Structure 1
């Protein structure tokens, strides 16, 4: 390794063998940073509680990368003794619909929201600061630290190190903090809600640079800080899977976690009506679910009598998820119908785009992900109020499928490749 490489310390909770989209962003940045003369050093918990595990992610970590680990004391592992299933789904971010929450779930949410601020990993802040202060004093060639959240506790580690060592600190927000959908679900009392806002503001004003994944989050944060904010979206990586044959059925596939708040009744209604009206559609149609699906979503599918056309693969590893994407006729992308979620660009969008299968997107008005789908010409989009338009799109896609003409003519995908995005990150690190 040449001596001229700049060294950066990346502080993250998620790292292989964690599964799910949260781990992909920094796994790929770390993979490509050395090509831009930056040597990443990664700091992670030694014994984390990951809700999803994917061994294939581990194969992507270069064995020459320095990885530092410290034990973490997590409430989730203790809460498991009280209520195993509930804590697993809660730590996976799958919050049950309000009317279906059990007493234990309500209690766990209340405790999590009011006792663990900003989140359940907050007890890792103090030991991490002690350990990393020593490490950075001994390794003075590390000039920059980067924290990535959620969990936003990671930013508190960065903030303390900044105060103590006056080192360059970049805070990366994979999701917003106080405006994200599930924040409202935490049953926060007044002082807890105020504390979150205060910490968010402090982090945004103490960091030297801020990175966000969408332009709406950038606009939101600009009202809270004058620090420089760069948008670096998530992206896709070049994966060689060989030739993946298309599904024979007319598959509409949802790949990734399917949460209860994302349950699009408009879609189930549209499919049910099309199956009633159009025999050819009924015979060919299949709803393909790949990933963790909440029981509310499955119940609603039953309610619309669609269970006979559903194939539920459950959680699969990343490579299999990519294969399923490429095999699907149409890819389903859903964001919760709320103003708070306009800034959320689902991580899978970029893998969807790279798989070059048409996307059907359902989301709130002015969603940031709508812009990306339009710019890249990778699919069609509807609002939650547009059932007739949704039926027309499904029929149009179906007719193209029948003619063997269902494909995408994407544009500008290269801007979303992980390597191109890492180049952008390298410029932020070097203050260019």
Structure 2
């Protein structure tokens, strides 16, 4: 008989983006490893990105409990008379109104750890009875939003249930918090709550070696590493990138471009290297691109002619863009958390067999993974010469791309087996 694990996650289809992929895939493969997952997620969440195609991946046998949530964004929308009042998006605006500045201050200082904190008490009240009746042998919380971990903390305190806390990003050391006008006493509260979660969870997991080391220093305990990965069943039947012809280059980037992901050094290197080149050169963004980057591209005639915006597409549609690419661009963050930045799409990129050119920390976790797999290279945002040399090599390259070495270890199925072992080791049978 399978043991049941309750997965408490804010992000769930139709939410799009990397935040939903991790636990959607674990829920898919955990049954093969002896655990029956049950999802607990908001009934009416305020998602930033939506991808309704992901709902097709939810098994008919998977139980999904949706519980009402109240979030302050809707109230702010009414006050502003606009949509999309998430402080994360408002922070990217060049000019902010008094109301918007006030909203950011309130989010920073009164909603700790985040605006989803209002979901904690009602969720704990609802779930306590189910756990006390023995419906679940373990619970998992995944953050951000880190309010999910407070649900796990309170359920652990009330019921003693086995609890695994999963950190997809740091908490008190998260670069996003540095953007907020946060008072010192509030930052101290974040640290206190974080310590409670790190101390009281039975198992803690995170996605990168750097985050693992940072959390171990904070917690003075073992933190388990389970990276993100790729799902071979996502790759469409008949998918092929074909052979590349020399003296041409089509680079494709998939995902979000925002205030902490700057593609301009790569684009400027392309212009400098190929502005007098007769061969075909093209760069395609697939996903949401910040207004600031769009404006910079629009102001440059060469970039305007060679950069294309496909907009946000479903996850399945992304593979059509991979097939048309000669190489893939990966824009990592250039911030204090950059070393531990391993985006989920890195593993899918490697699964395509296309070469990868990345901007980020050359000594970071993503760089080490790419080097080990012989799948690409990471360059510093300021290393213009090396970026140009790499672009030239990709331009002149021809022939069939080679598969990344050792990529099997990053399959979602294998990662789910690792997760199940952590649950089996300590949870009550």
Structure 1 length-normalised TM: 0.92
**1:309 shift after superposition:** 1.0
The residue that corresponds to 2:26 in the other structure is 29
**1:240 shift after superposition:** 3.8
Matches within 5 A, 1:125-164: 125-138=120-133, 140-164=134-158
Matches within 5 A, 1:299-310: 299-305=295-301, 306-310=303-307
Change (3 A) 1:228 1:338: same
Counterpart Cα distance in 2 of 1:201 and 1:102: 36
**1:243 shift after superposition:** 3.2
1:116 aligns with 2:111: yes
1:243 alignment partner, SS class: coil
Change (3 A) 1:189 1:12: same
The residue that corresponds to 1:370 in the other structure is 367
Q: What are the superposed Cα offsets for residues 357-382 of structure 1, whole Å, 9 maximum, x if unpaired?
A: 11101102421111111111111221
Q: What are the superposed Cα offsets for residues 213-267 of structure 1, whole Å, 9 maximum, x if unpaired?
A: 0011111111121343110000000124123566996211110111122123322
**1:87 shift after superposition:** 3.0
**1:323 shift after superposition:** 2.8
**1:302 shift after superposition:** 2.6
Counterpart Cα distance in 2 of 1:83 and 1:346: 33
Q: What are the superposed Cα offsets for residues 329-369 of structure 1, whole Å, 9 maximum, x if unpaired?
A: 11111112223221121111111111111110110242111
Among candidates 162, 165, 170, match of residue 168 of structure 1: 162
The residue that corresponds to 1:10 in the other structure is 7
**1:18 shift after superposition:** 0.8
Change (3 A) 1:111 1:32: same
Among candidates 289, 293, 297, match of residue 293 of structure 1: 289
Question: Does the 8 Å contact 1:86/1:105 carry over to 2?
Answer: no
1:130 alignment partner, SS class: helix
Among candidates 59, 67, 75, match of residue 64 of structure 2: 67
Q: What are the superposed Cα offsets for residues 388-418 of structure 1, whole Å, 9 maximum, x if unpaired?
A: 0100000000001xxx326234100000000
Counterpart Cα distance in 2 of 1:49 and 1:372: 34
Residue range with higher mean Cα deviation, 156-165 or 94-103? 94-103
The residue that corresponds to 2:260 in the other structure is 261
**Structure 2, unaligned stretches of length 5 or more?**
none
Note the aligned Cα RMSD (angstroms): 1.9
1:203 aligns with 2:200: no
2:10 alignment partner, SS class: coil
The residue that corresponds to 1:342 in the other structure is 339
1:430 aligns with 2:421: no
Q: What are the superposed Cα offsets for residues 17-43 of structure 1, whole Å, 9 maximum, x if unpaired?
A: 111110000000000000011111111
Change (3 A) 1:383 1:32: same
Question: Does the 8 Å contact 1:110/1:187 carry over to 2?
Answer: yes
Residue range with higher mean Cα deviation, 69-78 or 248-257? 248-257
Question: Does the 8 Å contact 1:337/1:363 carry over to 2?
Answer: yes
Aligned length: 420
1:420 alignment partner, SS class: helix
1:234 aligns with 2:232: no
The residue that corresponds to 1:396 in the other structure is 393
**1:195 shift after superposition:** 0.9
2:333 alignment partner, SS class: coil
Question: Does the 8 Å contact 2:361/2:367 carry over to 1?
Answer: no
1:186 alignment partner, SS class: coil
Moved over 6 A (4+): none
Counterpart Cα distance in 2 of 1:233 and 1:322: 22
Change (3 A) 1:253 1:85: farther
Question: Does the 8 Å contact 2:51/2:314 carry over to 1?
Answer: yes
